[in-house]
Amino acid sequence: MEARLHELRARLQEIDDINSAAAVLGWDQSTYMPPGGAPARARQLATLSRLAHARSTDPALGRLLAELMPYSEQLPYDHPDAALIRVAQRNYERMIRIPVDLASDIAAHTAASYHAWTQARPANDFATMVPYLERTLELSRRVADCFPGYEHPADPLIDFSDYGMRAAVIRDLFARLRAGLTPIIRAIVAQPPIDDSCLRKYYPRNDQLAFGEQIIRQFGYDFERGRQDLTHHPFATKFSVGDVRITTRINEHDLGDGLFSTLHESGHAMYEQGVDPAFEGTPLCSGVSAGVHESQSRLWENLIGRSRPFWEHFYPELQQTFPQQLGNVPLDEFYRAINRVQPSLIRTDADEVTYNLHVMIRFDLELALLEGSLKLRDLPEAWNARYAEDLGVTVPDYRDGVLQDVHWFGGLIGGAFQGYTLGNILSAQFLAAARAAHPEIDDEIGRGEFATLHGWLREHIYRHGSVFTPNELIERATGKPMEIEPYLTYLRQKYAAIYGIALEG
Amino acid sequence: MEARLHELRARLQEIDDINSAAAVLGWDQSTYMPPGGAPARARQLATLSRLAHARSTDPALGRLLAELMPYSEQLPYDHPDAALIRVAQRNYERMIRIPVDLASDIAAHTAASYHAWTQARPANDFATMVPYLERTLELSRRVADCFPGYEHPADPLIDFSDYGMRAAVIRDLFARLRAGLTPIIRAIVAQPPIDDSCLRKYYPRNDQLAFGEQIIRQFGYDFERGRQDLTHHPFATKFSVGDVRITTRINEHDLGDGLFSTLHESGHAMYEQGVDPAFEGTPLCSGVSAGVHESQSRLWENLIGRSRPFWEHFYPELQQTFPQQLGNVPLDEFYRAINRVQPSLIRTDADEVTYNLHVMIRFDLELALLEGSLKLRDLPEAWNARYAEDLGVTVPDYRDGVLQDVHWFGGLIGGAFQGYTLGNILSAQFLAAARAAHPEIDDEIGRGEFATLHGWLREHIYRHGSVFTPNELIERATGKPMEIEPYLTYLRQKYAAIYGIALEG
């Protein structure tokens, strides 16, 4: 059995090496690649994807896993070998359903579509992207159809990113969340808007970068095992436990843009840096789902990075970094500015309350596109209608409308967005559990110390990688299944104080 | 036959994609990778190398080539299909001799050794590198032994980089060159040394980078299909015809260091950017040998970039960029400073006359190590003795002695250095041929125009990629086999004028 386990690890390691190489190529494509590199890069990524796919679906791997299954079933559920065999088997079952040519087509199309989008978005050119989207939708449906028996064609795609979730469950969850959010937003928008002009002064790029990097270093992001670069659309990416990178973007006329992107991506990256290094090279060695991943980025960005205790500590340092811009701005004015709730156009710029409405719009449109009840040529109109209805804003162009997010233009349609709101929900549930175990966490945050919180997250979430399912992990870490109440409670308490209003559940 | 050709191209394309992915990982390793990424990166590169090697030695590829051979022999020698089949067959014959485990060991060892060297060199720590070098030497000998029947164990390794050359031929060529160089160097060092202190002022990094990039843009390096980044040891690397990158290093207290590195690497990169794009994805799509490659880097760096007409045009711009540093320095003083001949410690800093002595030292030591007549533990002593004897300089430490070059620490021992001097020889031979065809080239250089020269090089060298052997290419481009006289004539004429001395052949 030892020899078979050794062979399994070697096979998984090779797959991981190829996928990690592809991740380096993807990172380079988004950060430093010159325009002329695009056609070959698409082909190179397609080749690596094909090689990884062939190995991930090798019948010999299937036979090996079948031989190992009885062994794994004798072990405790959370034994690393049992988890490895279980997760590898689950991935194998999923992968063998997707034909190699389809996987290769997706990789090539994704790279080409992403490249076209990087030009079409600044040019405000939706028409150019329509054929790309048509193809993306077709490929997405073909992937879904590899998993017959679904309730909704989005279900298999959702299952890829948020294992164990389904469209119907999320629709219900989102409906209940919306019911909780609507009165909060209604009460807030009835108040005079917060003045956040202190954030819109001129903040030089390098000072912004240095300040953000200093904060995430204190959070516990390890720069010996990572780095930050600039991209259009910030992301975190992992090449090994020892090399987990983030990207950000800087707007010299908006302090919040780059700073909170950096905090956000550092949450994703700390999760990946915190996985047990013994899992390196196996499918256990990564965050377990989009939702749990997003819970970490949102926890560090919002629940910590936009909290009052946090800024009681860091604001004097920020003022020292930008004395002319912020020297005369009181903490309370700054704190209110970074927490201003204002229905708006851009998801990634949205405040944490209305953010979820952006996600729900995309989630609903994805489902409609996959169902065929919405045609791609009608997508901008549907998008704009929902923004008018849900957020009360008028979408002026494609650039800040339907073209704003990379997801549909560099991946599949379906399964890409629900994780953001699942993450918001979970961020509050996890933080509440950490606080219950360590009531001193809030005082520590007020001193700029994060070791207890980071330690709890590493112990209960990060180190486990993909050993448990998302639902198992949530229950083990918090003692309960996913629930929306901690998140709604968090929002009500925070925004009642900021806006001086009563918000009750 | 069309179907077989198609299959050949598909197989070669896949190999090229894997190798290109490995090149991206190598570039990242040298530019941006955090320290924690090193162990996994070594493994990832080993995996890609193993995958490429398996495909390059696939018996099915051998059978395919055997089937295509009769077809290729009916075609004219320089027909692209004939060249493709011929070169692919040559590579295949070479590759099948190297076992897959050996290729994989080399890739893993190379990455680990390179990483150790990046720490050992600044720490002046030769002892740490000895076990790495022992392993490198062992692996190099094992590679040579895959090609039994060699005259010298370096021959197979030399053949990899400079196809058609052998140790004995190079020894003879270098002996004749040394006989020509010695009187030149002797006459120069008898003169009062040139004052090059104007280069050692403070030159801010970003201004240096911008000036260098402006020059190579005028040379014809295409930034839409490339970029420049910073590394310890400058290099050029290619991921596709559309993505050929260079790196440089900047010393803010030495203007020449970064500037001439940039010009040098741009020569390599313009060669790769200039290959016929129809060859993309095949072994025809790259420069033909180390020597011919180096002829281009040295041509642009030295024969153009350190010439008087060049600086007659660019020096006023340089003075405008650095008015405080160079505003009062006459052109002639600057021109003499960048062409100062001074026996010294560091190959990459050496003037173009003594440079070849650095190469010959390394070439001779490589041969001795491979023969076993020199032990690795005695390498520093042998190195230092040769520097005392040949260049009259005392090596003060390992850092600027035996640890200075990446080659032995990030690759094989053998075949790595001769190309630099072959390149010097060829640079003058190619430029003389271009001048004979286009006497207006010198006037154009004096106007900062390079299109005629670049066009001649592209037409006679770059576009052919690896269609011809190095010797065929040299003969076709210049009408003669490789000869040292144009290079010696160039040096004599230039340095006689600079030092005001008589230098005759």
Strands (E), B112-242: 228-230, 236-240
Three-state secondary-structure class, residue B293:
helix
Q: Are A262 and A228 in contact (CB under 8 A)?
A: yes
Which chain B positions have a beta carbon within 8 Å of A33's beta carbon? 243
Residues of B taking part in catalysis: 265
pLDDT value at residue A411 = 87
Given a contact cutoff of 8 angstroms between Cβ atoms, the answer to whether A360 and A174 are in contact is yes
A286 touches chain B (CB under 8 A): no
- Whole-angstrom distance, CA of residue A305 vs CA of residue A352: 12
C-alpha B246/C-alpha B30 separation (Å) is 11
B17 touches chain A (CB under 8 A): yes
Indicate if the pLDDT at residue B108 is higher than 90.
no
Contacts of A40 in chain B (CB under 8 A): 20, 239-243, 280
Contact in structure between A33 and B229 (CB atoms under 8 Å)? no
Strand partners, A251: A254
- How far apart, in whole angstroms, are the C-alpha atoms of residue A259 and residue A267? 13
Chain B interface, best mutation among A11, A27, A49, A51, by max B CB count within 10 A: A51
Selecting from B28, B43, B224 the residue whose C-beta is nearest the C-beta of A28 gives B28
Dump pLDDT digits (tens) for A398-451.
Answer: 999 999 998 999 889 999 999 999 999 999 999 999 999 999 999 999 999 999
Confidence of residue A218 (pLDDT cuts 50, 70, 90): very high
- pLDDT 10s digits, A355-405: 999 999 999 999 999 999 999 999 999 999 999 999 999 999 999 999 999
- A290 to chain B, minimum CA–CA distance in Å? 24
Q: Which of A17, A39, A243 sits opposite B242 (nearest CB)?
A: A39
H-helix or E-strand spanning residue A239: strand A236-240
Are the beta carbons of A224 and B24 separated by less than 8 Å?
no
Cβ-based burial of B389 (10 A; exposed 0-12, middle 13-18, buried ≥19): exposed
Residues of B in contact with A227 (CB under 8 A): 32, 34
Q: What is the dihedral of CA A374, A104, A43, A48, to 10 degrees?
A: 130
Which pLDDT does position A108 carry in this prediction?
84
Kindly list the distances between the CA atom of residue A65 and the CA atoms of A6, A82, A84, in Å, as whole numbers in the listed order: 12, 11, 10
Q: How confident is the model at residue B145 (pLDDT cuts 50, 70, 90)?
A: very high
Q: How far apart are the first and last CA of chain B?
A: 55
Both tokens of A416, joined, read 């890409």
Interface of A with B in 293-332 (CB under 8 A): none
Q: For residue A15, give both structure tokens.
A: 């797959």
Instruction: Give CATH for domain A167-499.
Output: 1.10.1370.30
Q: Is B101 exposed, middle or buried (0-12, 13-18, 19+ CB in 10 A)?
A: exposed
DSSP symbol at B504: -
For A134, other C-beta atoms within 10 Å of its C-beta total 13
Spatial distance between the Cα atoms of B105 and B66, rounded to a whole number of angstroms: 29
**How far does A66 lie from chain B, in Å, by closest CA?**
26
Q: For position B1, what pLDDT does the model report?
A: 86
Residue pair B24/A24 in contact (Cβ under 8 Å)? The answer is yes
Interchain CB distance below 8 Å, A239 and B40: yes
CATH code 1.10.1370.30 region(s) in chain A:
167-499
Are A225 and B36 in contact (CB < 8 Å)? yes
Q: What CA–CA distance (Å, rounded) separates B112 from B132?
A: 9
Asked if residues A309 and A441 have their Cβ atoms less than 8 Å apart, the reply is: no
pLDDT at A115: 87
Give CA–CA dist B56/B14, Å, rounded. Answer: 10
B264 is in an annotated binding site: yes
Q: Is B228 helix (H, G, I), strand (E, B) or coil?
A: strand
Q: Which residues of A touch B51 (CB under 8 A)?
A: 18, 51
Give the end-to-end CA distance of chain A in Å, rounded to a whole number. 55
Catalytic one among A265, A301, A352, A366?
A265
Type of residue numbered B259 = L
Give percent of chain A with pLDDT exceeding 90. 94
Instruction: Give the ipTM.
Output: 0.91
pLDDT band of residue B14 (cuts 50, 70, 90) is very high
CB B211 within 8 A of CB B445: no
Whole-number average pLDDT of chain A: 96
Least confident of A67-76, A472-481, B496-505: B496-505
How much is the pLDDT for B369?
Answer: 97
**Who's near A60: CB < 8 A, 6+ residues apart?**
none
How many whole angstroms separate alpha carbon B108 and alpha carbon B48?
Answer: 10
Asked whether residue A505 carries a pLDDT value surpassing 80, the answer given is no
List, for residues A219-242, the tens digit of each pLDDT value: 999 999 999 999 988 999 999 999
**What tens digit of pLDDT does each residue of B217-241 get?**
999 999 999 999 999 889 999 999 9
pLDDT at A498 over 80: yes
Suggest the residue from B223, B239, B245 to mutate for an interface test with chain A (most A CBs closer than 10 A). B239
| B40 touches A: beta carbon within 8 Å | yes
Residue B379, judged by CB atoms within 10 A of its CB (0-12, 13-18, 19+), counts as buried
Which residue in A111, A312, A61, A321 sits closest to A203, CA to CA? Answer: A321
Tokens of A102: 């389809």
Q: What is the DSSP letter of A233?
A: S
Cα–Cα distance for residue pair B461/B270, rounded to 1 Å: 11
pLDDT, tens digit (0-9, with 9 covering 90-100), for B33-76: 999 999 999 899 989 988 998 999 999 999 999 999 999 999 99
Helices (H) and strands (E) in chain B, counts: 21, 3
Distance from CA of B245 to the nearest CA of A (A): 9
User: Which residue type, as a one-letter code, is found at position B396?
Assistant: P
Q: Give the nearest partner residue to B239 out of A13, A40, A241, using CB atoms.
A: A40
Q: At what angle do helices A59-74 and A80-95 cross, to 10 degrees?
A: 150
Burial A294-311 (b: 16+ CB within 10 A, else e): bbbbbbbbbbbbbbbbbb
Q: Where are the alpha helices (DSSP H) in A327-371?
A: 331-338, 355-371
What local confidence, expressed as pLDDT, does residue B163 receive? 96
Task: State pLDDT tens for residues B94-103.
Answer: 999 988 889 8
Alpha helices in B146-166 (DSSP H): 154-161
Q: How far apart are CA A363 and CA A365, in angstroms?
A: 6
β-strand pairing of A243-248 with A236-240: antiparallel
B158-212 pLDDT, tens per residue? 999 999 999 999 999 999 999 999 999 999 999 999 999 999 999 999 999 999 9
Q: Are strands A243-248 and A228-230 parallel, antiparallel or unpaired?
A: parallel
Residue range A457-483: mean pLDDT, rounded = 98
- The residues facing A247 across adjacent strands are A229
Euclidean distance between CA atoms B413 and B367, whole angstroms: 9
Whether residue B505 has pLDDT greater than 80: no
Cβ–Cβ below 8 Å for B242 and A44: no
Three-state SS at A228: strand
Q: Are B139 and B105 in contact (CB under 8 A)?
A: yes
List the structure tokens of A477.
């870490």
What's the pLDDT score for residue A40? 96
Task: Check if the beta carbon of residue A284 is closer than 8 Å to that of residue A87.
Answer: yes
Residue B310 has pLDDT above 90, yes or no: yes
Angle at B133 between CA B132 and CA B137, to 5 degrees: 125
Say which range, A85-99, A143-157, B80-94, B98-112, has the weakest mean pLDDT.
B98-112
Three-state secondary-structure class, residue A289? coil
Task: Identify the three-state secondary structure at position A339.
Answer: coil
Question: Average pLDDT for residues A301-310, to the nearest whole number?
Answer: 98
Q: Which amino acid is at B379?
A: L
The whole-angstrom separation of Cα A102 and Cα B46 is: 28
Q: How far is B210 from chain A (nearest CA, A)?
A: 17
Token pair 């090596």: residue: B395
What residues contact B117, with CB distance under 8 A and at least 6 apart?
Answer: B129, B132, B403, B406, B409, B410
Give A494's contacts (C-beta < 8 A, 6+ positions apart).
A307, A339
Residue keyed to tokens 């937003």: A185
> Which residues from chain A sit within 8 angstroms of residue B14, using beta carbons?
47
CB contact under 8 Å between A239 and B34, yes or no, is no
Tokens of A409: 């233009």
**Cβ of B339 under 8 Å from any chain A Cβ?**
no
What is the reported pLDDT for A233? 86
Helix, strand, coil percentages (3-state) for chain A, rounded to 5, are: 70, 5, 30
Q: Residues with Cβ < 8 Å from A355, sequence gap 6 or more?
A: A347, A420, A421, A424
From the list A22, A38, A242, the residue facing B37 with the nearest CB is A242
Q: What is the pLDDT of residue B209?
A: 98
Q: What is the mean pLDDT of residues A272-295?
A: 98
Of the candidates A40, A222, A227, the beta carbon closest to that of B32 is on A227
SS3 B245: strand
Q: Which of A18, A24, A280 sits opposite B47 (nearest CB)?
A: A18
User: Is B294 flagged in the annotation as binding?
Assistant: yes
